[in-house]
Amino acid sequence: MAIINTYQTVKRHLARNQISFINIILGIVVSQEKALNLTFARLQNHLFTVAKHLNHEKMENRLAGIHDLEQFSQNYPQYHWEIMELLTNFVQNYAAESNRSPTIPPDIQVALTVIGRRDTNQDESDGQLDLSHTDMRGANLNQANLELTNLYQVNLSQANLSGANLSGAILSAANLCEANLSGANLSGAILSAANLSGANLSGANLQQANLYLANLHGATLSDAILKGANLREANFG
């Protein structure tokens, strides 16, 4: 009888401890969720505060905001795509609103530089950066990664795109007059009706690119790779 009573006592003790153990685990999970929610809220608030600098009237504040956003995207990769979209929207809006001189504004150039060195491994699987209809003439995009970017009807005349990755990019009706595209990767890019007059395409990879109706008058194509490229009705002058 003593053995049975001892067994029942141990059983009840274990049951109580099990309940306590479950409660402890649940408490930890709830606390972690609260901490995560708090962290998420703080990060969102901080990102919102930093992003507001993009709309500041002073150039130095906008430049600081762009720098802070790039740093934020590096520290918190989960916000990488959101930040790239913020910067592309900034470039589109300010490029449209600014009274353009022959020189590209410093804040737009810096934003483009940050976009151009983005980590594509952090891009959304079905996402596409949109810089269409944007005035970026004279921009320095040397070695920039603009893979799969929507650049429809952009103005990139006299821009430096040497060594840039424009693979799969949409460049239909784009103005690339006298642009430097030497060594650029334009494989699979859509360049239909693009203005490439006087452009430097030496050593560029144009494999499988669509150049239908493109203007290539005076363009330099030495050592360019044109395998599988669509050159139907392209104008070579």
Break the chain into its structural domains and give their ranges. Answer: 2-103, 128-237
| pLDDT-derived band at 17, boundaries 50, 70, 90 | low
DSSP assignment, residue 54?
G
Distance of CA 237 to the CA centre of its chain: 36
**CATH architecture of residue range(s) 128-237:** 3 Solenoid (2.160)
For position 35, what pLDDT does the model report?
A: 43
Give residue 12's pLDDT.
53
Is 219 a residue whose pLDDT tops 80?
yes
Question: What is the model's pLDDT at position 43?
Answer: 72
Residue 165 DSSP SS3: strand
3-state secondary structure of 31: helix
Query: How confident is the model at residue 18, as a pLDDT?
Result: 52
Q: Tokens in use for 66?
A: 């762009």
**Of the candidates 192, 188, 144, the residue with the CA atom closest to the CA atom of residue 168:** 188
By the 8 A CB rule, do 153 and 133 touch?
A: yes
Percentage of residues in the chain with pLDDT exceeding 90?
64
pTM, 2 dp: 0.80
Contacts of 26 (CB under 8 A, 6+ apart): none
For 62-76, how does the pLDDT look when each residue is reduced to its tens digit (9 = 90+)? Answer: 999 999 999 989 988
Mean pLDDT of 211-216: 98
* Distance from C-alpha of 185 to C-alpha of 201, rounded to nearest angstrom: 10
Mean pLDDT of the chain: 85
- If we measure between CA atoms, which residue out of 137, 147, 210 comes closest to residue 178? 137
| Structure tokens, 88 | 């592309």
What integer pLDDT is reported at residue 98 of this predicted model? 56
Q: Is residue 158 within 8 Å of residue 137, measured between CB atoms?
A: yes
Give yes or no for residue 9 having a pLDDT over 60.
no
Which of 35-49, 156-170, 193-207 shows the lowest mean pLDDT across its residues? 35-49
The mean pLDDT value for 123-136 works out to 90
Residue 130 has pLDDT above 90, yes or no: yes
Question: Which DSSP letter does residue 104 get?
Answer: P
Q: CB atoms < 10 A from the CB of 65, how many?
A: 23
Cβ–Cβ < 8 Å for 140, 119:
no
Residue closest to 184 by CA, chosen among 208, 151, 215, 160: 160
pLDDT at 10 over 90: no
- What does the pLDDT average to over 191-217? 98
CA distance 166 to 81: 18
